[in-house]
Chains A and B, each alone.
Chain A
Amino acid sequence: MPHLDSQQALKQDGAIFRPIMKPTRGYAAIVCALLAVIAWAAYAYWWQLRRGLGMTGLNRPVYWGIYITNFVFFVGVSHAGTLISAILRLCRAEWRRSITRMAEVITVLVLFFGVGNVLLDLGRPDRAFFVITHAHFTSPLLWDVSSISVYLIGSVIYLFLPLIPDLAILRDVATGWRKRVYRLMALGFTGTEQQWHRIEKAISVMAVIIIPIAVTVHTVVSWVFAMTITPMWHSTIFGPYFVVGAIFSGIGALITAMVILRKVYHLEDYLRPIHFNNLGILLLVMCMLWLYFTFAEYLTTWYGHEPIEMTVFYAKIRGPYAPYFWTMFVTCFIIPFSILCNSRTRTITGTFIASLSVNIGMWLERFTIVVPSLSNPRLPVEFHMYHPSWVEWSLMAGCFAAFILLYTLFTKLFPMVSIWEIREGREVAVTETVERIKTYLPMEPKGEVAK
Protein backbone atom coordinates (compact mmCIF):
# COMPACT_ATOMS: atom_id res chain seq x y z
CA MET A 1 0.00 0.00 0.00
CA PRO A 2 1.62 3.28 -1.06
CA HIS A 3 1.71 6.26 1.27
CA LEU A 4 -0.47 9.21 0.63
CA ASP A 5 2.24 11.60 1.73
CA SER A 6 1.66 14.43 -0.69
CA GLN A 7 4.66 16.54 0.27
CA GLN A 8 6.97 13.66 -0.34
CA ALA A 9 5.20 12.89 -3.60
CA LEU A 10 5.70 16.47 -4.68
CA LYS A 11 9.38 16.20 -3.95
CA GLN A 12 9.94 12.82 -5.48
CA ASP A 13 7.67 13.03 -8.51
CA GLY A 14 7.74 16.74 -9.16
CA ALA A 15 7.93 16.23 -12.91
CA ILE A 16 4.42 14.82 -12.93
CA PHE A 17 3.04 17.78 -11.03
CA ARG A 18 4.80 20.45 -13.04
CA PRO A 19 2.46 20.61 -16.06
CA ILE A 20 -0.48 20.99 -13.71
CA MET A 21 0.98 23.60 -11.45
CA LYS A 22 2.83 25.80 -13.88
CA PRO A 23 1.71 26.99 -17.29
CA THR A 24 3.98 25.62 -19.98
CA ARG A 25 5.48 28.00 -22.45
CA GLY A 26 3.61 28.16 -25.72
CA TYR A 27 0.53 26.49 -24.30
CA ALA A 28 -1.66 29.50 -24.96
CA ALA A 29 -0.45 29.66 -28.55
CA ILE A 30 -1.31 26.01 -29.14
CA VAL A 31 -4.73 26.44 -27.59
CA CYS A 32 -5.39 29.43 -29.84
CA ALA A 33 -4.34 27.52 -32.93
CA LEU A 34 -6.55 24.58 -32.00
CA LEU A 35 -9.46 26.87 -31.23
CA ALA A 36 -9.08 28.47 -34.63
CA VAL A 37 -9.34 25.09 -36.34
CA ILE A 38 -12.35 24.20 -34.19
CA ALA A 39 -14.03 27.51 -34.99
CA TRP A 40 -13.52 26.90 -38.67
CA ALA A 41 -15.02 23.40 -38.31
CA ALA A 42 -17.97 24.85 -36.42
CA TYR A 43 -18.52 27.24 -39.29
CA ALA A 44 -18.37 24.32 -41.74
CA TYR A 45 -20.90 22.41 -39.68
CA TRP A 46 -23.22 25.36 -39.53
CA TRP A 47 -22.93 25.51 -43.30
CA GLN A 48 -23.80 21.84 -43.58
CA LEU A 49 -26.70 22.15 -41.16
CA ARG A 50 -28.19 25.00 -43.16
CA ARG A 51 -27.76 23.47 -46.59
CA GLY A 52 -27.93 19.79 -45.83
CA LEU A 53 -25.65 16.91 -46.69
CA GLY A 54 -25.53 18.21 -50.24
CA MET A 55 -22.49 20.09 -48.98
CA THR A 56 -20.57 16.83 -48.76
CA GLY A 57 -19.07 14.96 -51.67
CA LEU A 58 -21.43 12.02 -51.22
CA ASN A 59 -23.68 10.70 -53.96
CA ARG A 60 -25.66 7.65 -54.95
CA PRO A 61 -24.44 4.96 -54.38
CA VAL A 62 -21.63 6.25 -52.16
CA TYR A 63 -23.88 7.22 -49.27
CA TRP A 64 -21.16 6.99 -46.63
CA GLY A 65 -17.82 8.73 -46.76
CA ILE A 66 -15.25 10.10 -44.40
CA TYR A 67 -17.65 10.74 -41.52
CA ILE A 68 -18.24 7.02 -41.23
CA THR A 69 -14.53 6.39 -41.86
CA ASN A 70 -13.75 8.70 -38.96
CA PHE A 71 -16.35 7.00 -36.81
CA VAL A 72 -14.72 3.61 -37.29
CA PHE A 73 -11.25 5.11 -36.95
CA PHE A 74 -11.96 6.95 -33.69
CA VAL A 75 -13.75 4.03 -32.12
CA GLY A 76 -10.75 1.96 -33.13
CA VAL A 77 -8.29 4.36 -31.52
CA SER A 78 -10.36 4.20 -28.36
CA HIS A 79 -8.98 0.71 -27.89
CA ALA A 80 -5.68 2.36 -27.06
CA GLY A 81 -6.50 2.96 -23.60
CA THR A 82 -8.84 0.91 -21.70
CA LEU A 83 -8.12 -2.35 -23.41
CA ILE A 84 -4.34 -2.08 -23.39
CA SER A 85 -4.19 -0.75 -19.88
CA ALA A 86 -6.60 -3.43 -18.65
CA ILE A 87 -4.61 -6.21 -20.25
CA LEU A 88 -1.33 -4.89 -18.88
CA ARG A 89 -2.85 -4.50 -15.42
CA LEU A 90 -4.21 -8.01 -15.42
CA CYS A 91 -0.89 -9.43 -16.62
CA ARG A 92 0.84 -7.43 -13.89
CA ALA A 93 3.20 -6.00 -16.46
CA GLU A 94 5.18 -3.75 -14.17
CA TRP A 95 6.21 -1.39 -16.96
CA ARG A 96 2.60 -0.32 -17.37
CA ARG A 97 2.66 2.04 -14.40
CA SER A 98 3.62 5.22 -16.18
CA ILE A 99 1.51 4.70 -19.29
CA THR A 100 -1.91 3.55 -18.16
CA ARG A 101 -3.28 7.02 -17.47
CA MET A 102 -2.21 8.43 -20.84
CA ALA A 103 -3.88 5.51 -22.51
CA GLU A 104 -7.14 5.63 -20.60
CA VAL A 105 -7.65 9.31 -21.31
CA ILE A 106 -7.37 8.69 -25.04
CA THR A 107 -10.18 6.15 -24.85
CA VAL A 108 -12.64 8.34 -23.07
CA LEU A 109 -12.03 11.43 -25.16
CA VAL A 110 -11.83 9.80 -28.54
CA LEU A 111 -15.12 7.95 -28.05
CA PHE A 112 -16.97 11.26 -28.11
CA PHE A 113 -15.59 11.95 -31.54
CA GLY A 114 -16.49 8.49 -32.74
CA VAL A 115 -20.10 9.02 -31.77
CA GLY A 116 -19.92 12.63 -32.91
CA ASN A 117 -19.02 11.63 -36.43
CA VAL A 118 -22.14 9.52 -36.73
CA LEU A 119 -24.13 12.57 -35.72
CA LEU A 120 -22.31 14.68 -38.30
CA ASP A 121 -23.30 12.10 -40.87
CA LEU A 122 -27.04 12.20 -40.19
CA GLY A 123 -29.32 13.89 -42.65
CA ARG A 124 -31.58 14.86 -39.77
CA PRO A 125 -29.42 15.19 -36.65
CA ASP A 126 -32.38 16.81 -34.88
CA ARG A 127 -34.03 13.40 -34.90
CA ALA A 128 -31.06 11.45 -33.57
CA PHE A 129 -32.93 10.58 -30.36
CA PHE A 130 -35.45 8.59 -32.45
CA VAL A 131 -32.84 5.86 -32.30
CA ILE A 132 -33.86 5.51 -28.66
CA THR A 133 -37.53 6.45 -28.79
CA HIS A 134 -38.25 4.33 -31.85
CA ALA A 135 -35.53 1.75 -31.31
CA HIS A 136 -35.52 -1.06 -33.85
CA PHE A 137 -33.45 -3.85 -32.44
CA THR A 138 -32.55 -5.65 -35.62
CA SER A 139 -30.43 -2.69 -36.69
CA PRO A 140 -26.68 -3.04 -36.11
CA LEU A 141 -26.59 0.73 -35.66
CA LEU A 142 -28.62 0.27 -32.52
CA TRP A 143 -26.26 -2.42 -31.30
CA ASP A 144 -23.55 0.16 -31.78
CA VAL A 145 -25.37 2.78 -29.78
CA SER A 146 -25.85 0.30 -26.94
CA SER A 147 -22.34 -1.11 -26.84
CA ILE A 148 -20.61 2.25 -27.25
CA SER A 149 -22.65 3.76 -24.42
CA VAL A 150 -21.71 0.90 -22.13
CA TYR A 151 -18.08 1.20 -23.20
CA LEU A 152 -18.07 4.94 -22.62
CA ILE A 153 -19.50 4.58 -19.13
CA GLY A 154 -17.12 1.72 -18.36
CA SER A 155 -14.09 3.63 -19.58
CA VAL A 156 -15.00 6.73 -17.61
CA ILE A 157 -15.24 4.64 -14.45
CA TYR A 158 -12.03 2.88 -15.33
CA LEU A 159 -10.27 6.19 -15.84
CA PHE A 160 -11.71 7.69 -12.70
CA LEU A 161 -11.00 4.92 -10.20
CA PRO A 162 -7.20 5.01 -10.44
CA LEU A 163 -7.42 8.79 -10.49
CA ILE A 164 -8.96 9.03 -7.02
CA PRO A 165 -5.77 8.56 -4.94
CA ASP A 166 -4.01 11.08 -7.20
CA LEU A 167 -6.82 13.53 -6.72
CA ALA A 168 -6.41 13.14 -3.00
CA ILE A 169 -2.72 13.96 -3.28
CA LEU A 170 -3.49 16.97 -5.44
CA ARG A 171 -6.14 18.13 -3.00
CA ASP A 172 -3.53 18.25 -0.30
CA VAL A 173 -1.04 20.30 -2.27
CA ALA A 174 -3.25 22.53 -4.42
CA THR A 175 -4.66 25.90 -3.53
CA GLY A 176 -7.62 28.02 -4.56
CA TRP A 177 -10.32 26.74 -6.89
CA ARG A 178 -8.27 23.74 -7.82
CA LYS A 179 -8.28 22.58 -4.23
CA ARG A 180 -12.07 22.73 -4.20
CA VAL A 181 -12.35 20.78 -7.45
CA TYR A 182 -9.90 18.11 -6.34
CA ARG A 183 -11.56 17.81 -2.95
CA LEU A 184 -14.90 17.26 -4.59
CA MET A 185 -13.53 14.70 -7.00
CA ALA A 186 -11.40 12.81 -4.49
CA LEU A 187 -14.58 11.66 -2.76
CA GLY A 188 -13.00 11.96 0.67
CA PHE A 189 -10.16 9.58 -0.03
CA THR A 190 -7.65 9.73 2.78
CA GLY A 191 -5.69 6.56 2.24
CA THR A 192 -7.00 4.34 5.00
CA GLU A 193 -6.37 0.68 4.64
CA GLN A 194 -10.00 -0.04 3.88
CA GLN A 195 -10.13 2.62 1.16
CA TRP A 196 -7.05 1.25 -0.51
CA HIS A 197 -8.47 -2.19 -0.39
CA ARG A 198 -11.72 -1.10 -1.95
CA ILE A 199 -10.15 0.90 -4.71
CA GLU A 200 -7.75 -1.84 -5.71
CA LYS A 201 -10.58 -4.34 -5.73
CA ALA A 202 -12.73 -2.03 -7.87
CA ILE A 203 -9.91 -1.42 -10.35
CA SER A 204 -9.23 -5.08 -10.85
CA VAL A 205 -12.92 -5.87 -11.27
CA MET A 206 -13.28 -3.09 -13.85
CA ALA A 207 -10.16 -4.28 -15.66
CA VAL A 208 -11.79 -7.66 -16.13
CA ILE A 209 -15.18 -6.30 -17.16
CA ILE A 210 -13.85 -3.77 -19.62
CA ILE A 211 -12.05 -6.28 -21.85
CA PRO A 212 -15.12 -8.12 -23.18
CA ILE A 213 -16.90 -4.79 -23.55
CA ALA A 214 -14.08 -3.37 -25.64
CA VAL A 215 -14.00 -6.43 -27.84
CA THR A 216 -17.75 -6.23 -28.29
CA VAL A 217 -17.65 -2.59 -29.27
CA HIS A 218 -15.40 -2.99 -32.23
CA THR A 219 -16.96 -6.24 -33.27
CA VAL A 220 -20.32 -4.52 -33.42
CA VAL A 221 -18.84 -1.63 -35.36
CA SER A 222 -17.66 -4.13 -37.95
CA TRP A 223 -21.09 -5.70 -38.02
CA VAL A 224 -22.59 -2.46 -39.28
CA PHE A 225 -20.85 -3.46 -42.48
CA ALA A 226 -20.70 -7.23 -42.24
CA MET A 227 -24.43 -7.69 -41.60
CA THR A 228 -25.30 -6.28 -45.02
CA ILE A 229 -24.86 -8.37 -48.13
CA THR A 230 -22.71 -5.73 -49.77
CA PRO A 231 -19.69 -7.22 -51.58
CA MET A 232 -16.52 -7.23 -49.47
CA TRP A 233 -18.45 -6.08 -46.42
CA HIS A 234 -20.29 -9.32 -45.90
CA SER A 235 -17.41 -11.14 -44.29
CA THR A 236 -17.34 -13.34 -41.23
CA ILE A 237 -13.85 -12.28 -40.19
CA PHE A 238 -14.80 -8.62 -40.01
CA GLY A 239 -15.38 -8.80 -36.25
CA PRO A 240 -11.89 -9.97 -35.24
CA TYR A 241 -10.33 -8.09 -38.17
CA PHE A 242 -11.73 -4.82 -36.86
CA VAL A 243 -10.76 -5.61 -33.28
CA VAL A 244 -7.17 -6.33 -34.34
CA GLY A 245 -7.10 -3.14 -36.41
CA ALA A 246 -8.50 -1.23 -33.47
CA ILE A 247 -5.83 -2.39 -31.05
CA PHE A 248 -3.22 -1.76 -33.74
CA SER A 249 -4.26 1.85 -34.29
CA GLY A 250 -4.84 2.21 -30.55
CA ILE A 251 -1.25 1.38 -29.69
CA GLY A 252 -0.16 3.68 -32.49
CA ALA A 253 -2.12 6.55 -30.99
CA LEU A 254 -0.80 5.76 -27.53
CA ILE A 255 2.85 5.80 -28.58
CA THR A 256 2.30 9.04 -30.47
CA ALA A 257 0.79 10.67 -27.39
CA MET A 258 3.54 9.30 -25.15
CA VAL A 259 6.36 10.66 -27.29
CA ILE A 260 4.79 14.10 -27.41
CA LEU A 261 4.01 14.25 -23.69
CA ARG A 262 7.49 13.01 -22.85
CA LYS A 263 9.06 15.75 -24.88
CA VAL A 264 6.77 18.61 -23.88
CA TYR A 265 6.46 17.80 -20.19
CA HIS A 266 9.96 16.40 -19.72
CA LEU A 267 8.80 13.01 -18.56
CA GLU A 268 12.00 11.33 -19.73
CA ASP A 269 12.37 9.74 -16.34
CA TYR A 270 8.99 8.11 -16.46
CA LEU A 271 8.77 7.13 -20.09
CA ARG A 272 12.03 5.38 -20.70
CA PRO A 273 13.24 3.65 -23.84
CA ILE A 274 12.12 0.33 -22.40
CA HIS A 275 8.49 1.47 -22.46
CA PHE A 276 8.75 2.32 -26.12
CA ASN A 277 10.58 -0.88 -26.82
CA ASN A 278 7.89 -2.97 -25.14
CA LEU A 279 5.03 -1.11 -26.77
CA GLY A 280 6.93 -1.30 -30.04
CA ILE A 281 7.00 -5.08 -29.76
CA LEU A 282 3.28 -5.06 -29.05
CA LEU A 283 2.76 -2.87 -32.09
CA LEU A 284 4.85 -5.25 -34.15
CA VAL A 285 2.72 -8.19 -33.06
CA MET A 286 -0.45 -6.33 -34.00
CA CYS A 287 1.14 -5.34 -37.29
CA MET A 288 1.68 -8.95 -38.20
CA LEU A 289 -1.78 -9.93 -37.01
CA TRP A 290 -3.17 -7.15 -39.17
CA LEU A 291 -1.27 -8.50 -42.17
CA TYR A 292 -2.53 -11.97 -41.43
CA PHE A 293 -6.17 -10.87 -41.37
CA THR A 294 -5.80 -8.66 -44.41
CA PHE A 295 -4.14 -11.45 -46.33
CA ALA A 296 -6.80 -13.97 -45.29
CA GLU A 297 -9.57 -11.57 -46.27
CA TYR A 298 -8.17 -10.72 -49.68
CA LEU A 299 -6.95 -14.17 -50.56
CA THR A 300 -10.32 -15.81 -49.94
CA THR A 301 -12.01 -13.15 -52.02
CA TRP A 302 -9.56 -13.52 -54.86
CA TYR A 303 -9.55 -17.31 -54.81
CA GLY A 304 -13.34 -17.50 -54.81
CA HIS A 305 -13.34 -15.05 -57.71
CA GLU A 306 -17.00 -14.18 -57.50
CA PRO A 307 -17.47 -11.52 -60.17
CA ILE A 308 -19.23 -9.04 -57.93
CA GLU A 309 -16.62 -9.35 -55.19
CA MET A 310 -13.87 -9.07 -57.76
CA THR A 311 -15.20 -5.73 -59.00
CA VAL A 312 -14.65 -4.30 -55.54
CA PHE A 313 -11.38 -6.18 -55.17
CA TYR A 314 -9.95 -4.70 -58.36
CA ALA A 315 -11.29 -1.26 -57.55
CA LYS A 316 -9.00 -1.41 -54.54
CA ILE A 317 -6.02 -3.22 -55.99
CA ARG A 318 -5.64 -1.47 -59.32
CA GLY A 319 -8.72 0.68 -59.81
CA PRO A 320 -9.55 4.20 -58.72
CA TYR A 321 -8.91 3.38 -55.06
CA ALA A 322 -5.52 1.79 -55.64
CA PRO A 323 -3.56 4.82 -54.38
CA TYR A 324 -5.40 4.63 -51.07
CA PHE A 325 -5.03 0.88 -50.86
CA TRP A 326 -1.32 0.73 -51.54
CA THR A 327 -0.54 3.68 -49.31
CA MET A 328 -2.44 1.80 -46.63
CA PHE A 329 -0.36 -1.28 -47.24
CA VAL A 330 2.90 0.63 -47.03
CA THR A 331 1.92 2.62 -43.94
CA CYS A 332 0.24 -0.25 -42.10
CA PHE A 333 2.80 -2.88 -42.83
CA ILE A 334 5.99 -2.05 -44.71
CA ILE A 335 7.03 1.00 -42.68
CA PRO A 336 6.11 -0.17 -39.16
CA PHE A 337 7.33 -3.70 -39.78
CA SER A 338 10.72 -2.71 -41.08
CA ILE A 339 11.24 -0.29 -38.21
CA LEU A 340 9.95 -2.45 -35.42
CA CYS A 341 11.41 -5.81 -36.30
CA ASN A 342 14.90 -4.53 -35.60
CA SER A 343 15.81 -3.76 -32.00
CA ARG A 344 18.25 -1.11 -33.15
CA THR A 345 15.52 0.93 -34.83
CA ARG A 346 12.93 0.18 -32.16
CA THR A 347 13.92 3.39 -30.41
CA ILE A 348 11.76 6.24 -29.28
CA THR A 349 12.05 8.00 -32.62
CA GLY A 350 11.60 4.72 -34.44
CA THR A 351 8.42 3.76 -32.65
CA PHE A 352 7.15 7.32 -33.09
CA ILE A 353 7.55 7.16 -36.86
CA ALA A 354 6.02 3.70 -36.95
CA SER A 355 3.05 4.89 -34.90
CA LEU A 356 2.37 7.90 -37.05
CA SER A 357 2.52 5.69 -40.08
CA VAL A 358 0.12 3.19 -38.50
CA ASN A 359 -2.33 5.97 -37.67
CA ILE A 360 -2.40 7.17 -41.25
CA GLY A 361 -2.57 3.63 -42.55
CA MET A 362 -5.44 2.58 -40.33
CA TRP A 363 -7.47 5.62 -41.34
CA LEU A 364 -6.91 4.66 -44.96
CA GLU A 365 -7.84 1.08 -44.17
CA ARG A 366 -11.21 2.22 -42.84
CA PHE A 367 -11.65 4.39 -45.90
CA THR A 368 -10.87 1.57 -48.32
CA ILE A 369 -13.36 -0.62 -46.52
CA VAL A 370 -16.19 1.90 -46.53
CA VAL A 371 -16.01 3.57 -49.92
CA PRO A 372 -14.97 1.08 -52.66
CA SER A 373 -17.69 -1.39 -51.69
CA LEU A 374 -20.29 1.31 -51.94
CA SER A 375 -19.13 2.68 -55.26
CA ASN A 376 -19.36 -0.77 -56.86
CA PRO A 377 -22.90 -1.97 -56.18
CA ARG A 378 -24.29 -5.20 -57.56
CA LEU A 379 -26.34 -3.60 -60.26
CA PRO A 380 -24.94 -1.04 -62.67
CA VAL A 381 -25.24 2.50 -61.37
CA GLU A 382 -23.49 5.42 -62.95
CA PHE A 383 -20.03 5.69 -61.41
CA HIS A 384 -19.16 8.90 -59.64
CA MET A 385 -15.87 9.05 -57.82
CA TYR A 386 -16.32 10.22 -54.26
CA HIS A 387 -14.26 13.26 -53.40
CA PRO A 388 -14.79 14.58 -49.88
CA SER A 389 -15.77 18.25 -49.88
CA TRP A 390 -14.16 21.08 -47.95
CA VAL A 391 -16.90 20.73 -45.35
CA GLU A 392 -15.99 17.13 -44.69
CA TRP A 393 -12.26 17.82 -44.49
CA SER A 394 -12.87 20.79 -42.21
CA LEU A 395 -15.02 18.76 -39.85
CA MET A 396 -12.41 16.05 -39.77
CA ALA A 397 -9.70 18.59 -38.94
CA GLY A 398 -12.01 20.02 -36.30
CA CYS A 399 -12.45 16.62 -34.69
CA PHE A 400 -8.72 16.08 -34.46
CA ALA A 401 -8.14 19.60 -33.14
CA ALA A 402 -10.88 19.24 -30.54
CA PHE A 403 -9.47 15.92 -29.42
CA ILE A 404 -6.00 17.38 -29.01
CA LEU A 405 -7.41 20.37 -27.17
CA LEU A 406 -9.33 18.23 -24.70
CA TYR A 407 -6.35 15.98 -24.23
CA THR A 408 -4.01 18.87 -23.45
CA LEU A 409 -6.63 20.37 -21.19
CA PHE A 410 -6.68 17.13 -19.28
CA THR A 411 -2.91 17.26 -18.91
CA LYS A 412 -3.30 20.68 -17.33
CA LEU A 413 -5.75 19.47 -14.73
CA PHE A 414 -4.74 15.95 -13.88
CA PRO A 415 -1.46 14.08 -13.64
CA MET A 416 -0.73 12.18 -16.84
CA VAL A 417 1.27 9.61 -14.94
CA SER A 418 -0.44 7.86 -12.11
CA ILE A 419 1.45 9.17 -9.08
CA TRP A 420 0.33 6.57 -6.61
CA GLU A 421 0.95 3.71 -8.97
CA ILE A 422 4.53 4.85 -9.49
CA ARG A 423 4.95 5.09 -5.73
CA GLU A 424 3.37 1.72 -5.30
CA GLY A 425 5.85 0.40 -7.82
CA ARG A 426 8.76 1.79 -5.86
CA GLU A 427 7.55 0.92 -2.40
CA VAL A 428 5.70 -2.32 -2.82
CA ALA A 429 5.95 -3.86 -6.26
CA VAL A 430 9.69 -4.37 -6.40
CA THR A 431 9.76 -6.75 -3.47
CA GLU A 432 6.42 -8.21 -4.44
CA THR A 433 7.67 -9.03 -7.89
CA VAL A 434 10.75 -10.71 -6.54
CA GLU A 435 8.54 -12.81 -4.30
CA ARG A 436 6.25 -13.60 -7.19
CA ILE A 437 9.10 -14.71 -9.39
CA LYS A 438 10.21 -17.05 -6.65
CA THR A 439 6.82 -18.75 -6.74
CA TYR A 440 7.37 -19.51 -10.42
CA LEU A 441 10.51 -21.44 -9.68
CA PRO A 442 10.81 -25.02 -8.46
CA MET A 443 10.97 -25.27 -4.72
CA GLU A 444 14.36 -25.86 -3.28
CA PRO A 445 14.78 -29.40 -2.07
CA LYS A 446 14.28 -29.74 1.67
CA GLY A 447 17.68 -31.24 2.35
CA GLU A 448 19.46 -28.24 0.82
CA VAL A 449 17.62 -25.90 3.11
CA ALA A 450 18.49 -27.96 6.12
CA LYS A 451 22.15 -27.79 5.23
Chain B
Amino acid sequence: MVGIVIVSHSRLAAEGIRELAAQMAGPDLRIIACGGMEDGSIGTDAMRIQNALIEADSGDGVCAMVDLGSGIMSTETAIELLEFDDDHSDIQVRIADAPVLEGSVSAAVSASSGDSLEEVIAAAEEARGMKKLLD
Protein backbone atom coordinates (compact mmCIF):
# COMPACT_ATOMS: atom_id res chain seq x y z
CA MET B 1 0.00 0.00 0.00
CA VAL B 2 1.22 3.49 -0.88
CA GLY B 3 2.22 5.50 2.18
CA ILE B 4 1.61 9.20 2.83
CA VAL B 5 3.79 11.80 4.53
CA ILE B 6 2.33 15.16 5.48
CA VAL B 7 4.98 17.88 5.63
CA SER B 8 4.23 21.21 7.25
CA HIS B 9 6.18 23.96 9.00
CA SER B 10 3.92 23.39 11.96
CA ARG B 11 3.76 20.22 14.02
CA LEU B 12 0.16 20.96 14.96
CA ALA B 13 -0.87 21.56 11.35
CA ALA B 14 0.70 18.30 10.15
CA GLU B 15 -0.85 16.32 13.00
CA GLY B 16 -4.25 17.92 12.51
CA ILE B 17 -4.23 17.16 8.80
CA ARG B 18 -3.12 13.61 9.51
CA GLU B 19 -5.97 13.20 11.95
CA LEU B 20 -8.52 14.38 9.38
CA ALA B 21 -7.12 12.27 6.56
CA ALA B 22 -6.70 9.14 8.70
CA GLN B 23 -10.42 9.23 9.54
CA MET B 24 -11.13 8.46 5.89
CA ALA B 25 -8.44 5.79 5.64
CA GLY B 26 -8.33 2.09 6.35
CA PRO B 27 -6.36 0.74 9.32
CA ASP B 28 -3.44 -0.42 7.17
CA LEU B 29 -2.53 2.95 5.72
CA ARG B 30 0.84 4.32 6.79
CA ILE B 31 0.22 8.04 7.10
CA ILE B 32 2.90 10.00 8.90
CA ALA B 33 2.77 13.59 10.11
CA CYS B 34 6.11 15.37 9.76
CA GLY B 35 5.61 18.89 11.04
CA GLY B 36 8.05 21.40 12.43
CA MET B 37 11.55 20.88 13.76
CA GLU B 38 12.83 18.23 16.12
CA ASP B 39 12.53 20.63 19.07
CA GLY B 40 8.95 21.55 18.13
CA SER B 41 9.71 24.95 16.66
CA ILE B 42 8.24 26.10 13.35
CA GLY B 43 10.22 25.07 10.28
CA THR B 44 11.14 22.14 8.07
CA ASP B 45 13.98 19.65 8.43
CA ALA B 46 15.07 17.56 5.43
CA MET B 47 16.40 14.78 7.63
CA ARG B 48 13.23 14.40 9.66
CA ILE B 49 11.34 14.27 6.37
CA GLN B 50 13.75 11.64 5.05
CA ASN B 51 13.04 9.47 8.10
CA ALA B 52 9.30 9.97 7.74
CA LEU B 53 9.48 8.86 4.10
CA ILE B 54 11.29 5.68 5.15
CA GLU B 55 8.72 5.03 7.86
CA ALA B 56 5.81 5.52 5.46
CA ASP B 57 7.11 3.16 2.79
CA SER B 58 5.97 -0.44 2.74
CA GLY B 59 7.36 -1.15 -0.72
CA ASP B 60 4.75 0.54 -2.89
CA GLY B 61 6.06 4.09 -2.67
CA VAL B 62 5.20 7.27 -0.82
CA CYS B 63 3.07 10.28 -1.67
CA ALA B 64 4.42 13.45 -0.04
CA MET B 65 1.94 16.21 0.76
CA VAL B 66 3.70 19.53 1.41
CA ASP B 67 2.87 23.07 2.52
CA LEU B 68 4.75 26.17 1.31
CA GLY B 69 8.28 27.40 0.59
CA SER B 70 10.83 25.31 2.39
CA GLY B 71 8.19 22.59 2.85
CA ILE B 72 8.75 21.88 -0.82
CA MET B 73 12.52 22.48 -0.89
CA SER B 74 13.20 20.38 2.20
CA THR B 75 11.08 17.52 0.84
CA GLU B 76 12.96 17.63 -2.47
CA THR B 77 16.20 17.60 -0.50
CA ALA B 78 14.97 14.63 1.54
CA ILE B 79 14.21 12.71 -1.67
CA GLU B 80 17.76 13.37 -2.89
CA LEU B 81 19.19 12.23 0.45
CA LEU B 82 17.24 8.98 0.05
CA GLU B 83 18.70 8.44 -3.41
CA PHE B 84 22.19 8.56 -1.90
CA ASP B 85 21.22 6.36 1.04
CA ASP B 86 22.25 2.86 0.00
CA ASP B 87 19.69 1.15 2.25
CA HIS B 88 16.75 3.13 0.93
CA SER B 89 17.62 4.29 -2.58
CA ASP B 90 14.83 2.13 -4.04
CA ILE B 91 11.98 3.96 -2.28
CA GLN B 92 9.72 5.69 -4.78
CA VAL B 93 8.60 9.13 -3.60
CA ARG B 94 6.53 11.73 -5.40
CA ILE B 95 5.40 15.14 -4.24
CA ALA B 96 1.75 15.94 -4.98
CA ASP B 97 1.21 19.40 -6.44
CA ALA B 98 -1.91 19.95 -4.37
CA PRO B 99 -3.35 21.81 -1.38
CA VAL B 100 -2.01 19.98 1.64
CA LEU B 101 -5.24 19.44 3.58
CA GLU B 102 -7.72 18.57 0.82
CA GLY B 103 -5.05 16.67 -1.08
CA SER B 104 -4.16 14.57 1.97
CA VAL B 105 -7.78 13.51 2.43
CA SER B 106 -8.07 12.47 -1.23
CA ALA B 107 -4.71 10.72 -1.15
CA ALA B 108 -5.67 8.79 2.00
CA VAL B 109 -8.86 7.50 0.41
CA SER B 110 -7.04 6.54 -2.78
CA ALA B 111 -4.11 4.85 -1.03
CA SER B 112 -6.40 2.92 1.33
CA SER B 113 -8.23 1.39 -1.63
CA GLY B 114 -4.96 -0.04 -2.92
CA ASP B 115 -4.28 2.45 -5.73
CA SER B 116 -0.79 2.78 -7.24
CA LEU B 117 1.50 5.73 -6.45
CA GLU B 118 0.55 7.35 -9.78
CA GLU B 119 -3.12 7.05 -8.91
CA VAL B 120 -2.68 8.39 -5.38
CA ILE B 121 -0.78 11.41 -6.71
CA ALA B 122 -3.49 11.99 -9.33
CA ALA B 123 -6.19 11.78 -6.64
CA ALA B 124 -4.34 14.31 -4.47
CA GLU B 125 -3.83 16.66 -7.39
CA GLU B 126 -7.52 16.50 -8.31
CA ALA B 127 -8.13 18.32 -5.04
CA ARG B 128 -6.57 21.38 -6.65
CA GLY B 129 -9.67 21.99 -8.75
CA MET B 130 -12.24 21.06 -6.13
CA LYS B 131 -14.93 23.72 -5.77
CA LYS B 132 -16.16 24.45 -2.27
CA LEU B 133 -19.21 26.54 -3.12
CA LEU B 134 -21.55 25.01 -5.64
CA ASP B 135 -23.92 27.46 -7.24
Q: Are A and B physically bound partners?
A: no
Residues on B facing A (Cβ under 8 Å): none
